[in-house]
Every structure is written in C-alpha cells, then in structure tokens.
Amino acid sequence: MTNRKAHRTSADHASSPQDAPLPAPLPNANAPLQPPSRSGELAERNVLVDLVAVVVAVSHDEPRVLTLDDGASLPAGPFGSDARSLQTGLRDWVERQTHHPLGYVEQLYTFADRDRTGADGQRVMSISYLALTREQVERRAQAEGTWSSWYACFPWEDWRDGQPAVVREVLAPALTQWAAAAPSAMAREQRRRRASAAFGLDGAPWHDEMVLQRYELLHEARLTPESLRNVPEAERPAVIAPGRAMTGDHRRILATGVARLRGKIKYRPVVFELMPETFTLLDLQKAVEALAGRRTHKQNFRRLVEQQELVEETSEMSTTRVGRPARLFRFREEVLLERAIAGTKPAG
C-alpha cells in the first residue's frame, strides 16, 4: 500500500508511447542558457504563470476529478520559482493543498492566449498537468476539494450504456443546425463532416479520445455556456449543451486531460495508478470502462491483460457479494522496466 507511493511514476515528456520512468532526476543540465540568438526585444516579464492540475481518480465505477468551488474550477495555484521543477512544484503544491499523494504526473499543455487575463487585466499563462491518484476515502475529512465525475462536465462522453440520449436528442440536431448555418456550401459540408467525425454521427465511429475536439466543436458552435459569456442575451442560441461549465477555460483544460488519459491507457499501463494494491480483473475492467466511457468484451479484456502479463496472481480471492469469487491480482511493477509498450485497450 505504501510501497506504491514510493514507486512514483512520472513521465514529464509523456506524449510518446515509450517513455520509461526516470528514477533519478537528470544531473546537471545547468549550464547557463545562452540568450537566444537574435532576440532583439526583451522578454515579457509581466506574465503570471500558474499551474493547473487535472487530478484523476476512479471510484465506484466513475472517473473522478478533483475540483474546487463546488465543481466550478480545477485546483490551480501560482508557479513558485523555488520549485526544483514544474513536476515537483505541482506535486508539492497539490499534496499540500489536498492531502492527496499523487502518483503519475505528466504535463498536459501550456495555455497562453491573449484573452487569458487575470484580475488586473494581466496576462495569465497556465501550465496544466494530468495527475493520477487513488481516491483516499479515509483522508477525505481533511482533504480540500471535492471529487466529481467528469461526466458531470461532459455528459456526452459516457457511452457505457450505448449512445447517450444527449447526443441524439440535443447535440446532433444542434450541430446539424450549426452546420446548416454556415455561409457557403463548402463550409456547410466541412462543418457537417467535422461534427460527424467528432460525435460519431451519420454512422461514423465513436472515438473516445476525441474529447477535446468535441468540446471545442461545441464551443465553436456556441453550444457551451463558456462560449456565450460575452454574447448578448438576444444573440444566444436556443439550446446549450448540458454539462456543468467551469471557471475560465478550466473545462477545456479538463477536456485536454481526459483526452490524454483516454489515449494513454491504450498503450501504456497507467490504469494501475488508479487501482488499489490488489483488484479483480473485473475491477480493472470497470475502471478502464469508466475512463474510456465504453464497454469492452469481458473475455477479450482478460485475454489482453493476461497475455501481456501486466498482472500477477495473489493467493487471495475477492469477498464477492454474489457469484463465483474472483481472484485478486496485483500489478507487475516490473513491466514498467521490461517493456515500453503495452496498455489496456478497450474497443477502439
């Protein structure tokens, strides 16, 4: 249980499939950087930099995200220059704030558009991170923030019970209308195609990782509350997409995190960061399904996990409520060293 905590995985450059964990920090890259060639102007000093974290856990078959302000915002805080690295800065800060030890941490994206301004009109740059942890129920009392299912923010992303009604009844018609409202025939066709590809309309397949594109498409179609903030009452469209909006562009950041995680579980064994020490294969499957938002074939899931030797048996069996008791398994930490490949792939 605590052994797991010592085995902090972290992949800062984690976008390529095969990053192995780096146990030790890199020694000495600390030669002073040359001032970049031909930098005529001075660099901008008046930029606020802060860190935003998408902290994910899974509990009760739901993917949860750590939120503040009653689900309205993600934990965020200033980037302190004392931190050794962004990684550790984020880790320390989140752990201090929330009393949740973080497992895997990876950088998501740096947001710095001009319209991101702080209280005094200053430009705010946010470096966002994805962090995986296990929801520690016993620590909840002292922890700050609340865990909420990310499907509260993105109801259209949960296909575990088939296509959600929202998609068919609200989004599809609204997007069709948006497409039809484009000025030129080509633009209409283009919008139609984008909507189909993103939301699996017109027989197109559903791609679970396209979370960000879907959110941005809804944003562009002005179907989100966030996109309507400066739009006068009169010009607002009739419908808006259901799902809880968030402060600033936090929902976009969340979408980025969800997209990244959904993509990642397919080729890297990161789910285990979200699992308890031991678990049944069904537990594991449920966790993957919760994250991916879609069902998987049970037998094939087992075959995949076992033939890839991601787990090892324990001698214990689950104390199941009903049905045949299942064996408890444990993640084989060795795979992090042995292989660079492998993941836990749902249908895709």
Which lies closer to its own copies via its Cβ, residue 89 or residue 286? 89
| Residues 148/282, Cβ–Cβ less than 8 Å | no
Which partner from the list its own copies, DNA, none does 182 bind, CB cut-off 5 to 8 Å by kind?
Answer: none
State the CB neighbour count (10 A cutoff) for residue 148.
17
- The piece of 186-194, 240-248, 271-279, 325-333 that touches DNA (CB under 7 A) is 325-333
CA end-to-end span of the chain, whole Å? Answer: 32
Compute how many residues bind its own copies; rule: CB under 8 A.
104
The backbone region for 38, taken as left when phi is positive above 0, alpha when psi lies in -120 to 50, beta otherwise, is left
Q: Which of 79, 160, 277, 302 binds its own copies (CB under 8 A)?
A: 79
Which lies closer to DNA via its Cβ, residue 176 or residue 280? 280
Q: Does 348 sit near DNA (CB under 7 A)?
A: yes
Q: Does 19 sit near its own copies (CB under 8 A)?
A: yes
Residues 89-128, mask of contacts with its own copies (x by CB under 8 A): --------x---------x-xx-xxxxxxxx-x-xxx-x-
| Residues 71/244, Cβ–Cβ less than 8 Å | yes
* CB neighbour class for 160 (10 Å; exposed up to 12, middle 13-18, buried from 19): middle
CA distance 159 to 151: 10
Q: Which of 12, 276, 297, 312 binds DNA (CB under 7 A)?
A: 297
CA distance 210 to 256: 9
The values of phi and psi at residue 15, to 5°, are -85, -20
- The piece of 10-18, 133-141, 173-181, 269-277 that touches its own copies (CB under 8 A) is 10-18
Which lies closer to its own copies via its Cβ, residue 3 or residue 39? 39
Residues 54-73, mask of contacts with its own copies (x by CB under 8 A): --------------xx---x
Q: Does 345 sit near DNA (CB under 7 A)?
A: yes
CA distance 180 to 156: 22
Q: Contact residues for DNA (CB under 7 A)?
A: 280-282, 297-300, 302-304, 317-318, 320-327, 345, 347-348
